[in-house]
Amino acid sequence: MNLKPRRHEEPEINVVSLIDVVLLLVVFFILSSKFTDEGRLRVHLPQASAVPTQKVSGEPLVVSVTQQGSYLVNQHELINSSPETLRAALLKEAGSNRGMRVTLRADARATHQSVITAMDVLGRLGFVEVNIATVKEEPAGKP
């Protein structure tokens, strides 16, 4: 008597229905999702061609950033370009008045980090009105 089975069938898992379900879920999530660029930074650059109409009384505090990254506060050069020195000079010039206008004048070739450092010091001190100085762009035809 031969007790061995004649055919030995391997068990298999049918995954066709699983693939169908996953494909339907993928299509559902693609169609139901919003295609927005939430991770991108949108920057709306300000216009600098018009002169502001409103004049505020009082002398503003002027912080200048040179090409080398050093700072001037009301045309007085600081001994170094550390944030602590800038903070001390701003406290000396402004006193306790945090509502005064501050104009930030940065050289076009100054590093971005030195300008951001000045803005960070101004923000930490509590100045609320910080203006960035620009010059009016010359028309292309004029030298």
What pLDDT is stored for residue 44 in this prediction? 54
CB 103 within 8 A of CB 60: yes
**Which numeric CATH code is attached to 61-132?**
3.30.420.270
What pLDDT is stored for residue 99 in this prediction? 84
Measured in residues, the chain has a length of 143
What pLDDT is stored for residue 82 in this prediction? 92
Region of 52 please: left (phi>0), alpha (psi -120 to 50) or beta: beta
Residues whose CB is less than 8 angstroms from the CB of residue 126 and which lie 6 or more positions away in sequence, other chains included: 98
Model confidence, pTM: 0.56
Residues whose CB is less than 8 angstroms from the CB of residue 107 and which lie 6 or more positions away in sequence, other chains included: 65, 66, 67
Q: From the first residue on, what is the mean pLDDT of each consecutive set of 10 residues in the chain (143 residues)?
A: 70 86 92 65 55 56 90 90 92 86 89 91 90 77 58
